Structure 1
Amino acid sequence: MDTTAAGTSEYDRFGPWIDEVRLPEDIPRLFRGHPVDLDAGRLVLKVPRNIARRDATADMDLYDHLLVLDDDGLTVLSRRTEHDHQPRRAPGPGAFDVRDVPFEDVVAVRDVMNLLDGTLTLHTRTGSDLTVRYNGSGRSAMRALVDELRARASEGYPRPLAFALIDSGAQHACATPDLGRVDASLLGDFQDVSRRLPGLTLWSGHGRRQVALRGADPVKAIGHAFSPVTLHGAVVAGDSFALEVFGRHEWLVRGKKPMHSASRLVIPLNAPDTIDVAPHPDYLGVMVVTLSAGATRIELVVPEGSGAHRLLSEAAAQVAAPGR
């Protein structure tokens, strides 16, 4: 294909949205040197650069990532940004990086939206995370990718902790928790996913609350009086395949500004090896739940005495009980 024609076509179709790739000519020209089997791909997405349309030109590489999901895992091709201020390089192995993540290595998937900034993170058993940033206009495409990753990464045989989580979650399952007006959107996020995954059950939910410092340092106390710490709300859900947590982009945030971010954390139940529940070292009434999977540690921060605290603590106790 003529380079000018290819560049003009890519430029004409460029926008902030994430497009599905179905035909060879839809592959961004930067990545065309890499073998991509579109017939074998379950889902192939191209993620544009986070630049305004008016700043794009026909001779630029306009896509940051090509995401290829097949029967074995996810392959991510990523543009090398160190060349942004240099003359354009010819497409080839030196112009982009390639990362392969097999499904059995995926221990968690987190999709975060903070205003219009999206971040998809794959946590792996080796501890080497993979992060893809994207514009919020492409969230629906990322939802489809997260659903596919959830389905394939949770196919392995569950570990003992999985049965404890399912049992404890079933005992604590609730219909409509009171999250408060501000955090009602978290329940909406759960409901949106449960329409696609009818087996997903709401296990617990809690709204945001301000928390106090642990200890009596007067200097820190004065600082926190002017800039209090908020432990943000969350909805915890699950089925026989995965634990899901719907919350904000951070658990604990200082300041009084409202937060309207959204996060979906998916942990396949075949992934965690252990679970630990302990008080937060800095804040009263706050518990830190740590799920370990290989070299990765995933932390959930929840209010002490909340439904999430009780069900996760009981799962931990079941796993630790003699004879398990």
Structure 2
Amino acid sequence: MTATTEYDRFGPWIDEVTTPDDVPRLYRDHPLDLDAARLVLKVPRNIARRDATADMDLYDHLLVVDATTLTVLSRRAAERARRGVPAVPAGYDVRTVPLTRVVVVQESVDLLDGRLTVRTDDGAALTVRFNGSARTQVTRLVDVLRAGAVVGAPTAVGRALDAAGRAAAPCPLDPGPEDLALVADVTAAVRANPGLVPWACHGRRRLTVRPTGALGLVRLAAHVLSPATVEGAVVAGDGSAVEVLGRSTWVTRGQTPQHSASRLVLPLSRLDTVALTPHPLYADATQVELTLGAAVATIVVPAGSAIESVVAAARAG
């Protein structure tokens, strides 16, 4: 691909790389076996088309998934030397993650702000920012990572959660008029994976601050002007992974309509513990903590909700 061609193709979209000519020139010297790759995506820089020039490196990341690893090539901007700090040359950094060590995959979008986060069993996190308009390609990537991360049979905790979820299923996908987009996301997820069964769900609910002490009263007054809401969510599973579909933030403030979406994927074969704890700030909310190695995924649900009941049943089992 010539500089002009790369510039001509540049836009906010994430493109699949299928031929050597598709590889951005910045990453051309990296050994890349396209025949062995399951999926290769190039993520553009978050700049307006009018600000791009033909001599710029226009792609922030090259994401490569093969049979065993996720490799992320990330553009590195040059930095001049400062007192006591050596210069950093332009180029790119390389991070390689074995798929068998991936325990958490989450993609979220809030209007045009998109994020893909991959966590490994040692607690390390890798985050890639992208334009939310390109979510379709990131969803494909999550599906590929999911397939690679699901290895072996569920743990005892994973089996208990799956059994509790199936006993509660199916949940009626009617969380409320504010969450029609959430219902659409779940419908699309089930269409892509017919084995995925929605276990439990809830719509968005207003939260009450714990009025404890002087600070609690201050918080209570602040929430009168900017109320807190736990956003709607759906928990689903297919025997190999549990998925949580909801918003990019579990608890929001104010009364602005939500236009975000999130998909959290956890392999049941790596699930070590599940825990329920009262939310430290809100009296009618519960924190659900799912531990996978050194990684912890935390979601917030309404106290007494169907999702809380599923997790409680898994713990009891």
Shared fold (TM-score greater than 0.5)? yes
Alignment correspondent of 1:213: 209
Which of 120, 123, 129 is matched with 2:119 structurally? 123
TM-fit CA distance, 1:163:
0.6
- Distance in 2 separating the partners of 1:175 and 1:315: 17
1:108 corresponds to which of 104, 110, 135: 104
Deviations 1:16-67 (A, max 9, x none): 1111111111110001111011111011111111111111000000000000
> Structure 2: which amino acid aligns with 1:295?
A
Kindly indicate whether residue 284 of structure 2 is the aligned counterpart of residue 288 of structure 1. no
Deviation track 1:168-218 (CA, whole Å, cap 9, x = no partner) reads: 001110242431100122121011011110000010111011111113432
Instruction: Please state whether the residue corresponding to 1:123 is helix, strand or coil.
Output: strand
What pairs with 1:148-159 in structure 2 (closer than 5 Å)?
A: 148-159=144-155
Match of 2:192 in 1: 196
**Contact 1:67 1:76 (C-alpha < 8 Å) held by counterparts:** yes
Q: Select between 134-143 and 110-119 the one with higher mean Cα deviation.
A: 134-143
User: Equivalent residue for 2:16?
Assistant: 20
In the TM superposition, 1:26-41 aligns within 5 A as: 26-41=22-37
* Matches for 1:90-101 after TM superposition, within 5 Å: 95-101=91-97
Partners in 1 of 2:201 and 2:184 — Cα distance?
12
The aligned length equals 306
- Structure 1 distance, partners of 2:313, 2:171, is 20
Shift of 1:83: 4.9
Mapped partners of 2:94, 2:145: distance in 1:
18
* Aligned-partner Cα distance in 1 for 2:169–2:263: 19
State the match for 1:268 in structure 2: 267
Q: Unaligned 5+ residue runs, structure 1? A: 85-92, 319-324
- Structure 2 counterpart of 1:143, from 139, 142, 146: 139
CA distance in 2, matches of 1:147, 1:220: 41
Q: Any unmatched runs of 5+ in structure 2?
A: 81-88
- % of aligned pairs identical? 52
Deviations 1:273-314 (A, max 9, x none): 111111111111111111111111110111111110000111
Confirm or deny: 8 A CA contact 1:209 1:230 kept in the other structure: yes
Q: Does 1:64 align with 2:49?
A: no
Change (3 A) 1:197 1:25: same
How far apart, CA to CA, are the structure 2 residues paired with 1:244 and 1:304? 20
Equivalent position to 1:134, from 121, 130, 133: 130
Cα distance, 1:81 vs structure 2: 3.4
Query: 4+ residue runs of structure 1 moved beyond 6 angstroms?
Result: none
Picking from 142, 164, 186, the partner of 1:168 is: 164
RMSD, aligned α-carbons: 1.5
TM-aligned CA distance change 1:156 to 1:82, over 3 Å: farther
Check whether the contact 1:30–1:95 (CA below 8 A) recurs between aligned residues.
yes
Deviation readout 1:76-102 (Å, 9 max, x if unpaired): 000013559xxxxxxxx9611101111
Counterparts of 2:132 and 2:299 in 1: how far apart (Å)? 24
Is this contact kept in 2: 1:277–1:316, CA < 8 A? no
